[in-house]
């Protein structure tokens, strides 16, 4: 059995993504790791960071992004597919640049891949998620945050990245353009792993958080205030003590990244908002109500979530 890791990246070092740590977190588990590296800006050093891992398993493919041809975030899926197509493993392990796997899950992941290798019903594996927020000690528990996602798929040509590369679907006779198509597509049959993806996408200095959000908005809608890049305001994470405290351990590869955190003085460590903009709108009240129900009555089970998979037990 062979496992390939893969990802797609562009300008991730200048936007404070832990790309080196992400790749390193599964290097011991995979036989190769394919990176689709986009046409980065001159002030970005993503390639140098990846090459500093000095691993013969890593293969970098240089690509060009075209958000006009692939609008609404579909370039993310297109780039993911480019990397996927170069993988040679039986199973393909996808990580985005802000996703990290704890080493304590490696044995479970490998065991399940081996156990289900010949079971053609199993087209992939589902991971739980923990979304860290603001710092490395708190995480999101509010309604609307996805609790799980597919991150390992079988190496089949008709399995493609979907929408904005959040998930995967089987798309026979894919035209190679519309990654948001639903008609004629099929949800993958997956098994759920007792493992988590540690998502650090919302943990960065407040001004860089604003830049990162603006970058994603530009990819998805091409509507963005350029001042968010030139003179970004500090992103408001809100009252940190409203979020649950993380009581576990982080992956070993994150040790230096976490130690380098220097923006705690820019966060609001209270239960109360200091921003007049954070008033309770109807939408905010709805989210607050659903969050309370989910966390106090349903044991954390999320309501009204879209499940882009068929769970095999």
Answer whether residue 295 is part of any domain: no
Residue 277 has pLDDT above 60, yes or no: no
Residue-level pLDDT at 31: 98
Answer whether residue 73 is part of any domain: yes
Find, among 185, 167, 176, 193, the residue nearest to 111 by Cα: 193
Residue-level pLDDT at 143: 83
Q: How confident is the model at residue 213 (pLDDT cuts 50, 70, 90)?
A: confident
Angle among Cα 128, 197, 265 to the nearest 5 degrees reads: 115
Residue-level pLDDT at 226: 58
CB-count burial class (<10 Å; 0-12, 13-18, 19+) for 78: buried
Q: How confident is the model at residue 96 (pLDDT cuts 50, 70, 90)?
A: very high
Answer whether residue 108 is part of any domain: yes
pLDDT digits (tens, 9 = 90+) for 38-82: 999 999 999 999 999 999 999 999 999 999 999 999 999 999 999
Residue 107 has pLDDT above 90, yes or no: yes
Find, among 161, 178, 192, 1, the residue nearest to 82 by Cα: 161
This prediction has a pTM of 0.94
* Candidate from 75-89, 137-151, 264-278 with smallest mean pLDDT: 264-278
More confident residue, 236 or 304: 236
Answer whether residue 283 is part of any domain: no
Residue-level pLDDT at 69: 95
Residue 276 has pLDDT above 60, yes or no: no
Residue 252 has pLDDT above 80, yes or no: yes
Mean pLDDT confidence for 151-178: 96
- DSSP-derived secondary structure for 184-218: T-BPPEEEEEEEEEEEEEE-S-HHHHHHHHHHHHH
* Candidate from 86-90, 132-136, 207-211, 212-216 with smallest mean pLDDT: 212-216
Mean pLDDT confidence for 108-136: 98
Residue 167 has pLDDT above 70, yes or no: yes
Per the structure, the complete domain to which residue 186 belongs is given by 3-202
Contacts 24+ apart (CB under 8 A), 282-285: none
Query: Which CATH number goes with the domain that contains 192?
Result: 3.90.550.10
DSSP 246: P
Percent of the chain with pLDDT over 90: 78
Answer whether residue 58 is part of any domain: yes
Residue-level pLDDT at 36: 98
Interatomic CA distance for residues 136 and 161, integer angstroms:
29
Residue-level pLDDT at 303: 62
Q: How confident is the model at residue 222 (pLDDT cuts 50, 70, 90)?
A: low
Mean pLDDT for the chain overall: 91
pLDDT digits (tens, 9 = 90+) for 282-307: 666 677 777 666 677 667 777 667 78
Find, among 139, 151, 208, 160, the residue nearest to 25 by Cα: 151
* Structural domains in the chain (count): 1
Residue 230 has pLDDT above 60, yes or no: no
Answer whether residue 35 is part of any domain: yes
Answer whether residue 248 is part of any domain: no
CB-count burial class (<10 Å; 0-12, 13-18, 19+) for 98: buried
């Amino acid at each position: 059995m062979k496992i390939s890791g893969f990802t797609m990246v562009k300008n991730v070092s200048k936007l404070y993504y832990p790309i080196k740590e992400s790749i390193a977190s599964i290097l011991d588990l995979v036989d190769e790791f394919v990176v689709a590296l986009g046409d980065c800006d001159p002030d970005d050093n993503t390639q140098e960071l990846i090459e500093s891992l000095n691993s013969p398993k890593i293969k970098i493919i240089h690509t060009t992004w075209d958000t006009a041809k692939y609008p609404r975030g579909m370039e993310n899926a297109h780039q993911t597919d480019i990397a996927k197509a170069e993988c040679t493993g039986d199973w393909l392990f996808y990580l985005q640049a802000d996703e990290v796997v704890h080493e304590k899950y490696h044995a479970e992941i490998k065991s399940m891949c081996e156990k289900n290798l010949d079971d053609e019903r199993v087209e992939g594996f589902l991971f739980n998620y923990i979304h860290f927020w603001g710092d490395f000690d708190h995480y999101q528990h509010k309604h609307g945050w996805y609790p799980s996602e597919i991150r390992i798929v079988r190496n089949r040509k008709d399995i493609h990245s979907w929408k904005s590369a959040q998930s995967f679907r089987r798309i026979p006779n894919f035209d190679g353009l519309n990654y948001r198509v639903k008609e004629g597509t099929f949800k993958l049959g997956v098994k759920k792993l007792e493992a988590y993806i540690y998502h650090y996408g919302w943990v960065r200095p407040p001004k860089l958080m604003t830049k990162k959000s603006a970058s994603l908005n530009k990819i998805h809608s091409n509507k963005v205030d350029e001042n968010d890049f030139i003179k970004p305001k500090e992103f408001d994470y809100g009252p940190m003590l409203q979020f649950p405290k993380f009581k576990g351990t982080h992956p070993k590869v994150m040790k230096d990244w976490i130690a380098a955190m220097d923006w705690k003085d820019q966060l609001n460590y209270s239960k109360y908002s200091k921003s007049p903009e954070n008033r309770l709108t109807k939408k905010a009240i709805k989210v607050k109500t659903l969050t309370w129900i989910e966390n106090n009555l349903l044991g954390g089970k999320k309501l009204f979530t879209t499940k882009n998979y068929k769970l095999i037990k």
